[in-house]
Amino acid sequence: MYRRLAQCLSRHCPQVSDVYAQHTRRASCLPGSLPAMPACDFQPQPHEGPDLQTVKNIRKNKLIPGLITYYKEPVYVHQGHMQYLWDTSGRRYLDLFAGIVTVSVGHCHPTVVAAAEKQLRKLWHTTNIYLHPKIHEYADQLVSKLPGDLKVVYLTNSGSEANDLAVLMARMHTGVFEGISLRNGYHGASPYLMGVTALSTWRYNTPTGFGFHHSVNPDPYRGPWGGKHCRDSPAQPGRPCDCVLGQCQACDLYVDQLEDVLRYSVPKGRVACFIAEAIQGVGGSVQLPDGFLKKAYEKIRAYGGLCIADEVQTGFGRMGSHYWGFESQGVTPDIVTMAKGIGNGFPMGAVVTTPEIAQTMGRALHFNTFGGNPLASAVGSAVLDVIDKERTQALCANLGTYFITELDKLRSEFEVIGDVRGKGLMIGVELVKDKKSRQPLAAEEMASIWEDTKDMGVLIGKGGLYGNCLRIKPPMCITKADVDFSLAVLRCALQKHQDSQ
């Protein structure tokens, strides 16, 4: 009956219809009106550790002060299973941030847990001064996922360590010190990488350049150029665009800026490397214009440089259409770095390069005590098996497209949503004061929306220079029911914010 009434109002009295629609949306956010979180048969164990206040005191007094904690009242996580987390009181949350884009196939995935337990009973560690089967089996399995001549693996413990090694490789191989990265890119916060990262929020007041120069960030939404035809995404920026579909003028303008850096800021005719993510993770899920990396790589290689693809967040099928983010831009890099999802939360990282570049690193000893140890290799191998067996890449493609499309519908409903972007399950939602100005949403308003989603049972990350971007990168095992629940929660939080203005 109500559907027929809405259709009639829409045809004969659009103003009344708009009021009716607004009332319906508000009614859906009343207490008890939200759909229930999708059912889960898993039963967490009772919590037996310290209470919340004890943990807060330890964190305040005995852990480094730079550790941030999400939310006014932190979530005290106790146990996880696939896409869900439980706090110490037994409350369940849908995890849409996956431990900062790290839990790839699911919290405590049974296959990965079984592989780790089996290896724990055999051998934890030897280092690679001795041969052991797991590192060799895993290296062979991992390189089979990469194209071209990317066939030599260096195993590390983190993404920062991997990027650090990749830059060193490029400098050693080319004999050039200078490198280029993109503004708004994050590649680690070690002293070496702080100069590669170009987000002021991650940089201390200490010498950090170390030969790196930052080119203009090719952001079709917030950058100087770009618009509705510039991204390979189900959702496009709302900005007008003169580009013909498939021919991005903004891409060429950003590449011109990169060439300007090459022309003025590096030793004449030489550069060591260029490093970039296909979608900037910490920077707020910013998606580069379609074709940018291909043209950028051509420029860098003309100057004798190597191209590094940072796949720490975009790899292992998360972008859906391709196994690696760089493939979505039609390029093959010289060096690939990876971490996070590589071990589904186990501390692992890797650098994959060509035999020629790897040969350069034989000029001196290079050793990693824990990289590729038996336990890490067993876990990494199990993660690759799960991705293949459970077809998580296809899930990311299909469910991610649905998620982005539905989020884009929310953008048309709420003035506060400035941009929806991404590919697969690598999604960003940028919140603004209004669509015309694109002024970042005030921190307190952003926090209010973010807190409300948590209180309704959904954990979402945030990022970007101004902290106004919702980062949605769930474990690659979520369901359509999870997505629909998340959309209902986010709509309710946005409606509450809108009504409060």
278/289 same-domain check: yes
- Is the confidence at residue 253, as pLDDT, over 70? yes
φ/ψ of 79, rounded to 5, equals -155, 155
DSSP letters spanning 144-161? TTS-TT--EEEEESSHHH
Instruction: Verify that 310 and 237 share a domain, yes or no.
Output: yes
Stretch among 111-120, 179-188, 216-225, 246-255 having the lowest mean pLDDT: 246-255
pLDDT at 127: 83
Taking each helix axis from N to C end, the angle separating 392-413 and 374-389, rounded to the nearest 10 degrees, works out to 70
Q: Are 306 and 254 found together in one domain?
A: yes
DSSP string, 194-251: TTT---GGG--SS---TTEEEEPP--TTTSSS--TTS-SSSS--SS---PBTTB-HHH
Q: pLDDT tier at 1 (50, 70, 90 boundaries)?
A: very low
Q: What are phi and psi of 420, to 5 degrees?
A: -120, 130
Residue type at 243 in one-letter notation = C
Q: How far apart are CA 119 and CA 33, in angstroms?
A: 47
Give the chain's domain count.
2
| Banded model confidence at residue 6, pLDDT cuts 50, 70, 90 | very low
Whether residue 197 lies inside any domain: the answer is: yes
- Half-sphere exposure for 409 (CA within 13 Å, toward CB): 10
Domain containing 81 — which CATH number? 3.90.1150.10
Q: Which helix (H) or strand (E) holds 402?
A: helix 392-413
Closest CA to 227 of 218, 239, 216, 217: 239
φ and ψ at residue 124, rounded to 5 degrees? -85, -45
Do 49 and 141 share a structural domain? no
Instruction: Compute φ and ψ for 265, nearest 5 degrees.
Output: -110, -5
Give dist(CA 205, CA 289) in Å, integer: 32
Q: Give kind and range of the element (H or E) at residue 349.
A: strand 349-353
User: pLDDT tens digits, residue range 399-409?
Assistant: 999 999 999 99
Q: Are residues 96 and 179 in the same domain?
A: no
CB burial of 391-400 (b: ≥16 within 10 Å; e: otherwise) equals ebbebbbebb
Say if residue 90 is in the same domain as residue 143: no
Give tens-digit pLDDT for 332-382. Answer: 999 999 999 999 999 999 999 999 999 998 888 888 899 999 999 999 999
- Specify whether the CB–CB gap between 459 and 96 falls below 8 A: yes
- Nearest-10 Cα torsion for 73, 77, 80, 84: 0
Q: Residue 43 and residue 36: Cα distance in Å, rounded?
A: 17
Final residue of a domain: which of 322, 357, 389? 389
What is the full DSSP assignment across 39-88? P----PPPP-S--HHHHHHHHHHHS-TT----SSS---EEEEEBTEEEET
CATH number for the domain harbouring residue 239: 3.40.640.10
Per-residue pLDDT tens digits for 288-336: 999 999 999 999 999 999 999 999 999 999 999 999 999 999 999 999 9
Q: Is residue 2 part of a domain?
A: no
**Residue 94 and residue 232 in one domain:** no
- 216 and 157 housed in the same domain: yes
User: Tens digits of per-residue pLDDT, 155-167?
Assistant: 999 999 999 999 9
- Asked whether residue 212 is domain-assigned, the answer is yes
State the pLDDT confidence band at 470, using cuts at 50, 70 and 90: very high
Q: Is 183 helix (H, G, I), strand (E, B) or coil?
A: coil
| 58 within domain boundaries | yes
Q: What is the pLDDT of residue 501?
A: 86
What percentage of the chain reaches a pLDDT higher than 70? 93
pLDDT of residue 10: 47
In this structure, the answer to whether residues 235 and 158 fall within a common structural domain is yes
Residue position matching structure tokens 């570049």: 357
Distances, alpha carbon 19 to alpha carbons 26, 406, 414, 489, 492, in Å: 11, 22, 15, 22, 17
Buried b (16+ CB within 10 A) or exposed e, 155-174: bbbbbbbbbbbbbbbbbebb
In a domain, 89, yes or no: yes
- Among the residue ranges 16-25, 92-101, 378-387, 425-434, the one predicted with the least confidence is 16-25
Say which residues have a Cβ less than 8 Å from residue 496's Cβ, sequence separation at least 6. Answer: 29, 449, 452
Averaged pLDDT score across all residues of the chain = 92
The residue range of the domain holding 405 is: 40-108+392-500
Let me know if residue 295 belongs to a domain.
yes
Using pLDDT thresholds of 50, 70 and 90, give the confidence band for residue 9.
Answer: very low
pLDDT above 80 (res 241): yes
Cβ proximity of 131 and 377 under 8 Å: no
Instruction: Using alpha carbons, select from 424, 25, 429, 392 the residue that is nearest to residue 233.
Output: 424
Give the whole-angstrom CA distance, residue 410 versus residue 416.
10
CA distance 441 to 431: 6
Token duo for residue 28: 């859906």
Task: Evaluate if residue 494 carries a pLDDT over 80.
Answer: yes
pTM value?
0.93
Distance CA 493, CA 501 (A): 13
Over residues 183-205, the mean pLDDT reads 92
Are 295 and 382 contained in the same domain? yes
Rounded to the nearest 10°, the torsion over CA 148, 154, 158, 162 is -60
pLDDT score of 2: 38
Type of residue numbered 188: G
